Structure 1
């Protein structure tokens, strides 16, 4: 396994990581998984600052789009051409969570929309594009969120281990991407 560090909030960082990755795997990339995410400021819609909304949007929406853009030529070299965005049910416009997730929810709704569009735009090129809600994972970000919930809500919610979530994504979502290629 090789790790390439990048900051999805920086186009320069994404581009530099793309160049490093192209040198490391010149034959191409089978599947790109975008797992960037921040959640800050658990405040009502009108209370969250514009700066926090923008920070969420840059990392959670524009970051994954830039990552796909920078990886497009590497993905084109393989027949698999799989793209997966790890997103959240909080970004659903069909339901609103009982706690304040204004910046995070808005930015994940943007990610969900953009990856649905990418699915339409890239599928004629042989791409499989998917989005996955990993569940309430006991990550640093989610743990802080969980601890901030009202005790009544916390009783109804349980966090899952990161490795359990990752295994489910591999077994269910990545396998589905593979099946779409047939």
Structure 2
């Protein structure tokens, strides 16, 4: 059975991804900071709750020791940081957004790499956003060019580069980033135009890659996303 860990899986896209992967036969660890919400989600889905604060070294180390073995890691947890205008974005706000969205991914990936390297078909899926695309941000025909989310967009651009660098460093692991699209969740006040089922589709698809699948790519439901 494929063992999968999803960070931030107690609600939204993480929860739906867990639901679909459990239905596909995965044993899924529900990573969550809040014990009550995490256990409730795990019990409701038939998954296993894993206490996990991706901003805390000790929490991540304890989680890696608890899991023991892993085939798929979905780095889903993150925050938006709000809609502050660029002139109001401070270094402290940048750090707040980068801590889970960038440093947290590094922290979790590094901790679980030894387990993934023991898997016959290891996979890492990094959940990013089209707002992190430099191509789309500079294309006046793209909706992404209309947003000025300095902290969030730059953090997702950094996550995209992390994905590429990890893919080059660990060619035996399928490491990709995915854009779920503008999905209605708590993350955006349910303003998204997609359902969580639609948003989770590309995450679930890439979490089920075999060893001959792509690596170092960025995809959404429609195909390749420009960097």
TM-score range, shorter chain: 0.7 to 0.9
**CA–CA distance in 1 between the matches of 2:101 and 2:48?**
24
Task: Name the structure where strand makes up a greater proportion of residues.
Answer: 2
Query: What is the aligned partner in structure 2 of residue 160 from structure 1?
Result: 194
**CA–CA distance in 1 between the matches of 2:163 and 2:91?**
24
Matches within 5 A, 1:56-95: 56-95=97-136
Q: Find out whether 1:120 has 2:168 as its counterpart.
A: yes
Q: Is the 8 A contact 1:60 1:107 kept in 2?
A: yes
Q: 5+ residue gaps in structure 1?
A: 23-27, 147-157
| CA-CA distance at 1:168 after TM superposition | 3.6
Q: Find out whether 1:40 has 2:81 as its counterpart.
A: yes
Q: Find out whether 1:52 has 2:108 as its counterpart.
A: no
**CA–CA distance in 1 between the matches of 2:67 and 2:103?**
20
Query: Quick one: structure 1 residues 181 and 90, their matched pair in 2 at CA, closer, same or farther if it must change by over 3 Å?
Result: closer
| CA-CA distance at 1:179 after TM superposition | 5.6
| CA-CA distance at 1:169 after TM superposition | 2.5
Give secondary structure in 2 for the equivalent of 1:43. Answer: coil
User: Which of 177, 185, 194 is the aligned partner of 1:139?
Assistant: 185
Q: Is the 8 A contact 1:14 1:67 kept in 2?
A: yes
Calculate the aligned-residue CA RMSD, in Å.
1.8
When the two structures are aligned, how many residues end up with a matched partner?
Answer: 161
TM-score by length of 2: 0.66
What's the CA shift string for 1:118-171, capped at 9, x where partnerless? 010101xx1110000011111111226x4xxxxxxxxxxx52111222234323
What's the CA shift string for 1:78-122, capped at 9, x where partnerless? 111111101111111222231231111011111111111001010
TM-score by length of 1: 0.81
| CA-CA distance at 1:181 after TM superposition | 5.3
Q: Is the 8 A contact 2:74 2:127 kept in 1?
A: yes
Query: What is the aligned partner in structure 2 of residue 30 from structure 1?
Result: 71
Structure with more relative contact order (C-alpha pairs < 8 Å, separation 6 or more): 1
Query: What is the aligned partner in structure 1 of residue 203 from structure 2?
Result: 169
Q: 5+ residue gaps in structure 2?
A: 1-46, 138-143, 215-227
Query: What is the aligned partner in structure 1 of residue 48 from structure 2?
Result: 2
**CA–CA distance in 2 between the matches of 1:77 and 1:31?**
11
